[in-house]
Amino acid sequence: MDQQKNRIVITGIGLCAPNGSNLSEFRQNLLNCKSGITSNEIRYMGNHPAGFCEFDEFKYQKKKTRKRGTRAGSIAIYCANEAIVDSKIDFDNIDKSRVGTYLGITEHGNVETEEEIYQLHQNDLDTSFWSHHHNPRTVSNSPAGEVNLNLSITGPHYTIGSACAGGNMGVIQGVQQLLLDEVDFALCGGVSESSQTFGIFAAFAAQGALGSHEDPTKASRPLDTDRNGIVISEGGCVYTLERLDSALKRGAKIYGEIVGYGVNTDATDFVLPNTNRQIECINKALDKAGLKNSDIDIVNMHATGTKAGDINELAAVKEAFAGTNASVNFTKGHIGHCMGAAGALELAGNIPSFDDNMVHPGMNVDNLDPQCAMDNLVINKPLQKDSVNYILNNSFGMLGINSALILKKY
């Protein structure tokens, strides 16, 4: 029994992505290479490809509280409730002081803040147009706090500000808090509202790193010679995590067991990645899991669609997994870069492989960059494997934050 208490499993998944608002739809569109990227009018920026989620904001939230909260919060509330429903736990009758909410983010509250600034300038800088909701919308514990308010959870909540590694980091935090016996049930993952705010488009444009294409569904092209940058998307993915003994006791469906993770920092540049630190992060996750590189069946790359990012990460993955049977895929060609949600969403897209042994492909690779070539890349069409028992998910972010998460078939 003690051994089961030290094993953490996923029992529920709630998500919204640009190409699906539940796991089944999301997975099918990944296998079929169906993009969720469309052309959109971005304030001050004109038309750009971007990824927006389609879900019912008021399925679990009243209009009054949505008005007070944030777009990121509404995504988090939807995903958390969907995960709880999926887990089939009797949520009304569990001790909510023993439930923790841990969400990775890149940003939050930017959508509402930009709108306030816009209204300020439309009204001669009259600060009476500045919302009294501004402070709770922008404090660093939102949107996790919005989830706890919505679900009457009295246990801990906080966000993990870890750039585009946020989705993985939220899950890792949930694992750690369960192992420390701080909580018995964790809601964790990542959320992002990025495509709703013009500021991030302007910033990536200034960097020369904003992806474009006459066909928006082809704008996100990781590993392709003709890629020209990131396509910005919003999204969310929240998991319910439990100790194995708890999940078995209530007869829960188990999606997989989290057996290893690695986190480190490049400490070399604000935005440029460091291949050696990425290799060390991957090896750290393997060591924690007690696995060899040959044990991994699927590696999901972070693969943003920037030249430096793709080449550096491919070098790391090749160093770590060359000569093994690990199939290497990526997800951002389908959905763009969902920022704080990316890691959690991309892991979710691969989890059904435990059941069907299919590896979804990376899409939009018409001309593979020679510097991104390696054996076992899965691109443009799915791959059927004999079995899938271990998945490793890479997720990296600005300021050099790196994360790798390993999930085992249960």
Residues making up the chain, counted from first to last: 410
Of 29, 90, 103, 107, give the one whose Cα is nearest residue 335. 29
3-state secondary structure of 336: coil
Sheet containing 256-265, strands listed edge to edge, beginning at the edge strand earlier in sequence: 157-161, 99-105, 185-192, 235-243, 8-16, 256-265, 401-408, 390-397, 298-301, 327-330
Domains, the chain, ranges and CATH? 2-249 (3.40.47.10), 260-408 (3.40.47.10)
Q: Which of 16, 53, 164, 237 is catalytic?
A: 164
Q: Which of 188, 337, 360, 372 is catalytic?
A: 337
Residue 235 phi/psi, 5° resolution? 165, 180
Q: Report yes or no on whether pTM surpasses 0.75.
A: yes
Instruction: Return the pLDDT at 2.
Output: 63
Q: Would you call 302 a catalytic residue per the annotation?
A: yes
Instruction: Return the pLDDT at 1.
Output: 42
How far does the chain reach from its first CA to its final CA, in angstroms? Answer: 17
Instruction: Return the pLDDT at 132.
Output: 85
Report mean pLDDT in 10-residue bins for the chain, 410 residues: 82 98 98 98 95 96 92 97 98 98 92 87 88 85 96 97 96 98 98 93 94 97 97 98 97 98 97 96 98 98 96 97 97 98 98 98 98 96 98 96 98
Q: Which of 48, 302, 334, 360 is catalytic?
A: 302
